[in-house]
Amino acid sequence: MNRKKATWVSVGLIALLLLSVYTAWFGWGSKHDGAAKAIKLGLDLSGGVSITYQTVGTDDPTPEEMSDTIYKLQQRVQNYSTEASVYQEGSNRINIEIPGVTDANAILEELGKPGSLEFQLSDGTVVLSGANVTSAQAASQKDSTMGNTEYVVSLAFDNEGATAFADATSANVGKQIYIVYDGDVISAPVVNEPITDGKCIISGNFTIDSASELASYIRIGSLSLELEEIRSNIVGAQLGQKALSTSLVAGAIGILIVMLFMIWMYKVPGIVAAISLIFYTALDLVLISAFELTLTLAGIAGVILSIGMAVDANVIIYARIREEIADGKSVRSAIDIGFKKALSAIIDGNVTTLIAAIVLNFKGTGTIKGFAQTLMLGIILSMFTACVISRLMINAAYELGMKDEKYFGKAKEIKTIDFVGKRKMLFAIAIIAILVGPASMFINKAAGNGFLNLSMEFRGGTSSDITFAKDYTIDEIDSELKPIIQNIIGDAEIQAQKVAGSNEIIFKTRVLTVDEREQIEDAFAGLVETSAAGEAAAEAETEAGTEVGEAQAASSNGTAISFETISSTISNEMRSDAVTAVIIAVILMLLYIWVRFSDFRFASSAVLALCHDVLIVFACYALIRISVGNTFIACMLTIVGYSINATIVIFDRIRENLKLRKKNETLADIVNRSITQTLTRSIYTSFTTFVTIAMLFILGVPSIREFALPLMTGIIAGGFSSVCVTGPLWYVMRAAAEKKAAK
């Protein structure tokens, strides 16, 4: 790159930076709101639509039928948002909450009325039911005769359905199979050939809308129970505007501190890193908005992790450049070699985390999927800004006159630390820290408090629906109403949602006793609405089948305060999906490390370090009694991604030094030297990530602090395990193998 080209590159990058920032903040074209303001927020940050269904034909469905229906509905509503939640209310009701939307009627129309679905022959023989359908989607394909694009409906069946459909289509080639929804024929495709693989395509004169509508009917008709909608509301944010605004301010302050730190430590490269971070943040906001990802606390965790990885990539590069300058290379050579040597660590660290994110996105549901999507986007962007934008800016700065090594700095020689020699002490510290968790859990259990403080997302609770005489703001609810309930039930975990256009507020708490419900009634007796409309609403609720003592309690002034027992929003199936996703992700990460480093001991020591970090965070939850809910899953996944990335950097240096092994250098010397060489990077990355989350902890509302504290603990644990555990652990396994081979 010559000086003229460097000038044009600089102008282009400045223009791109300004365009990204402008789009993120002010919008572009017909969109007058910036991407940051247009991002879809979850129920916890902005609210959405709440729809309640009730079973038709039975008031006492079996737990299996309810569980199956809830799980299938969870799959349906994820088309609207990955953060949508579905849970049981009472004995025969199902509540759906979808964030980021404000038109309940549109959702109801699109979701459809859940009803019975059957595939029948012309004589009325039922081939299979909707329960045998595993997926139904609108799709497109090339017409076999004309070659033009046509819209179709793609179906897949379970094993039982596949067998039945194969028999029916084999015996009825050239005849129609009728798809009957609630007694009405909604489609009657002709069987062209036997279909034996459990998948079929319905073709015809479909538009994308008509194909989507038919697919929607088939999907919703595959539910185990027939449902009818009894009410729908627009609900407000659970955490309130203050939670969002303080999170944004904390994030901005954290990023600013990181930028100033990078400039102070790395001079010109630090300025480049700061600009790259602005690029990254602006592009991330634009793409989160463009891809319509739903941002919740879990999504914020994914963004925080990817910011840490973006900073980490820059730290790795600039540390390498300084090392090359210290070895006597020219600044020009140091830049080229630094980027080249840093690339393998950056790619391996990011790809390992990306593998986990991809698996979590496809196998996970709800919060896990939202976390994975923001993390995937962030990882790709962080690699782009570090390896492309930063490189262009560094080279442009060099060609424009910043060629002296004083602008880049020189790595200072650090005395090699004997981590391997201190391994017994380091392993003992790690084991003791791990044991804090189980010890705390058993102490909690002995005290009658349960192993962990499980939130409503895991154990369910009670929904208290109260219509007040005045319209309370979210902040007033937090400061005036929640403390009243907290004093009665002795638990700070209280979720509150406002129903838009009314004074109605829904409080979700742990399961309340009859006495606690009566105390809540008495406490709010002077604040609730006393109009005739309130009495009519209470009567209507009673006529709808609400159980006495379970669903409704009339207050002394005639206004209804209703109570419903609600199930956990994280169903057994969702937990199973989450566990399966994490197991698959860990296995694939292990295989990738094994292949890339050609040594299974690297992979196994990395996974053992991950277990250490997760158990330390687990101990934090058990010891401090932090509520274990949706953010618990996101927190654990964040620590896994952060820790594996830090470990890969050290392993990359060990791999490099093994190839350059000196004649009299022992294996312990190589491990110690590798850890010491990357120690500065480990400290700087841990510090910058810790600062960002610490700002959330300092400035955030209580629910944000409960989310930030375990993350801070995990960062410390991840830094310790990467530096003090993984290298010595690999040495122990490698040395044992060499000793065995020598014998």
Q: What is the pLDDT of residue 38?
A: 67
Q: Smallest Cα–Cα separation from 182: which of 115, 227, 110?
A: 115
Q: What is the pTM of this model?
A: 0.72
Contacts of 690 (CB under 8 A, 6+ apart): 712, 715, 716
Helical H runs in 327-422? 331-363, 367-384, 390-399
Q: What is the pLDDT of residue 120?
A: 92
How buried is residue 520: exposed, middle or buried, by Cβ count under 10 Å (0-12/13-18/19+)? buried
**Residue 614 is encoded by which pair of tokens?**
């997760």
Q: What is the pLDDT of residue 533?
A: 43
Q: Which residues pair with residue 547 across a beta bridge?
A: none
Identify the segments of the chain with pLDDT beneath 50: 30, 531-538, 540-559
Using alpha carbons only, give the angle 220, 223, 229 rounded to the nearest 5 degrees: 65
Neighbours of 31 (CB within 10 A): 13
Q: What is the pLDDT of residue 430?
A: 93
Report d(CA 701, CA 247) in Å as an integer: 9
Neighbours of 666 (CB within 10 A): 13
The distance from CA 218 to its chain's CA centroid, rounded to whole angstroms, is 29
Amino acid at 506: I
**Residue 168 is encoded by which pair of tokens?**
């029916």
The sign of the dihedral angle between the CA atoms of 247, 249, 254, 258 is: positive
Report d(CA 208, CA 189) in Å as an integer: 17
Q: Which residues pair with residue 88 across a beta bridge?
A: 94
**Residue 79 is encoded by which pair of tokens?**
């088309």
Q: Supply φ then ψ for residue 240, to 5 degrees.
A: 90, 165
Q: Smallest Cα–Cα separation from 488: which of 521, 448, 529, 447?
A: 521
**Residue 687 is encoded by which pair of tokens?**
């510090």
Q: Smallest Cα–Cα separation from 189: which of 216, 168, 162?
A: 168
Residue reference for tokens 């109605």? 504
Report d(CA 227, CA 221) in Å as an integer: 10
Q: Smallest Cα–Cα separation from 259: which of 241, 272, 243?
A: 272
Residue 412: strand, helix, or coil: coil
Longest CA pairwise span in the chain (Å)? 92
Residue reference for tokens 């609810």? 477
Q: What is the pLDDT of residue 340?
A: 92
**Helix pair 727-742, 630-659: axis angle to 10 deg:** 50
How buried is residue 82: exposed, middle or buried, by Cβ count under 10 Å (0-12/13-18/19+)? buried
Q: Supply φ then ψ for residue 460, to 5 degrees.
A: 75, -170
Amino acid at 88: Q
Q: Which residues pair with residue 142 across a beta bridge?
A: 149
Q: What is the pLDDT of residue 111?
A: 60
Q: What is the pLDDT of residue 550?
A: 39
